[in-house]
Homo-oligomer: A and B are copies of this chain.
């Protein structure tokens, strides 16, 4: 039995975010005190902590809603969770690969850029490399 500020402290989630979760029905509308303040109890802490942990594991709010909905219908979400976890491990591999690719391009751009003069015509400096793409092999700029 406590107000939103306490729930925020207990769960480590801002009051703004708690209200947001309520708006999108990720959290149920809590009962209200006479003055209209939201009143929570321990089960709310549990639910919110679950959400927070799942967010830190990069589950989307949609994923989390699905998992919580299963729980509400007394269906064990374990296999759904395991599938999403496996899927995410794969996605992270792809994202890392993309980032490494991007980083390699940036590194190459940087190295080539170091060898080039500034020029306002944007013809022979790093800017022109952005426009035209990096050459396969750096041209001797002859």
A residues bordering B, Cβ < 8 Å? 46, 49-50, 53-54, 57-58, 67, 71, 74-79, 81-82, 85-86, 88-89, 92-93, 95-96, 99-100, 102-103, 105-107, 109-110, 113-114, 116, 118-120, 122, 125-127, 130-133
Evaluate contact between B85 and A92: CB separation under 8 angstroms.
no
* In the complex, chain B residues whose CB is within 8 Å of the CB of A95: 99
Min CB–CB distance A74 → chain B (angstroms): 5
* In the complex, chain B residues whose CB is within 8 Å of the CB of A118: 76, 78-79
Listed A/B pairs (24) with beta-carbon separation below 8 Å:
A49-B132, A50-B127, A53-B132, A57-B102, A67-B127, A71-B120, A71-B127, A75-B120, A76-B120, A76-B122, A77-B127, A78-B116, A78-B118, A81-B113, A85-B109, A85-B110, A88-B106, A89-B103, A89-B110, A92-B100, A92-B102, A92-B106, A96-B96, A96-B99
